[in-house]
Amino acid sequence: MICVPEAADDGHGVAAGSWLAGLGTVLREWGRIGITGFGGPPAHIALLRRLCVDRRGWLDAAEFEDAIAACNLLPGPASTELAIFCAWRVRGRAGAVVGGLAFIVPGLIIILFLSALFLAGAPPLWVRGAGAGAGAAVAAVAAATGWSLVPPSWKRASAREPVRFSRARWVCYLLAGGGASATIGPWLVFVLLGCGAVELAWQRVSWRPSAVPVIAPLFPAVLSGGLLASVAWVAFKVGALSFGGGFVIIPLMHSDAVGRGWMTNDQFLNAVALGQITPGPVVQTVAAVGYAAAGLPGGLLAAVVAFSPSFAFVLGGGRYFSALRENRAAQSFLDGAGPAAIGAIFGAAILLARVLSVDWQFAVLAGAAVLLLALRRGVVLTLLSAAAVGLVVAFAGGPLPR
């Protein structure tokens, strides 16, 4: 294990002048993860652990686990926050900025390029076919993601006393999140926050401000009308107000993306699929929504607004991450918000399946469910296989979504 040498602290938990690596190393290593990190948060966590704990010894295993737990307690994309935190531990604030951008930017460039291709007004036939096939599978991806989160969350609820009441509350939070996701998507954030607050009150935990950082999302002032302001608000909800990341952001974006006329339901499915098959954070999907709304400026604005809270949380509170994991109030809040977020993912699956419009897409959805849930195949392979089916249908003259 390599620890930070004793030296004058810079006030942020890292000894000034005693960095574990240079900025060039951070740029190279985090950029490699940003380019090769297909598969979402599980893949990102595995790559960061291999780099920072196993290969380099920059963090010990206990600190890395504390960081994972703390990032899961925060709103926004947890794997992005973990990447920023690890870079912060290695090279301080400058490292956090460089490492975070190296992790985010490669996938952002790719998804903006693919958005220009897939969200064009008149895309070529092969693009329409691939998009229709991959889009048909994303509901299965959402369902598989939610299902994978159920066992650890249920086990967490079962560890509390009395078990029967803890499990009953868990089911209620799950149903609340699922119902809100499938019906009142734009207001889902309030349901997640409400479930967390209810569980916090139920467990009657004494709040001790000195034990945790003051990390609270800054709600925006009243936004003036305008397209870019609307894009910024959607991205802010994704980056600063959502718990669970990944598919939890779908109901937060769908109403605005489709209801405001930025994209059709089928284009939204394409955007979600693009977020899954590109490397880096899955939250990049919001950049595709921003691109559909206002072109390249909209895509870049959405990315900046969505990821800025992650940098703020780590730079402002990274030194408290180990304490945050042990804080009973934070844990109690997550005991309520966590199951609600899982329910929201299942609700997102219903939402995504409901917008399919061509018969053969439902067969693709069923096949994707078999691949993911029964055969345990990966997300990227499943989506590419579904896209291939869409290509065959398109070139065979089959019907495609309009």
Residue 329 has what pLDDT?
83
The 10s digit of each residue's pLDDT in 259-289 is 899 999 989 999 999 988 899 888 899 999 9
| pLDDT(212) > 80 | no
Per-residue pLDDT, 247: 79
Place of tokens 């009243």: 222
Does residue 223 register a pLDDT over 80?
no
HEC readout, 308-376:
HHHHHHHHHHHHHHHHHHHCHHHHHHHHHHHHHHHHHHHHHHHHHHHCCCCHHHHHHHHHHHHHHHHCC
DSSP 1-20: ---PPS--B-SSSSBTT--S
Average pLDDT, the chain: 85
What is the pTM assigned to this prediction?
Answer: 0.82
Q: Is the peptide bond before 279 cis (omega within 30 degrees of 0)?
A: no
pLDDT of residue 244: 66
- The structure tokens listed for 65 are 């686990």
pLDDT tens figures, 128-141: 999 999 999 999 99
Residue 220 has pLDDT above 80, yes or no: no
337 contacts 205 by C-beta, under 8 angstroms: no
Q: Give yes or no for a contact between 79 and 281, defined as CB atoms under 8 angstroms apart.
A: yes
Phi, psi values for residue 9, rounded to 5° = -80, 140
Evaluate whether 306 touches 286 at the Cβ level (below 8 Å). Answer: yes
Q: What is the pLDDT of residue 205?
A: 53
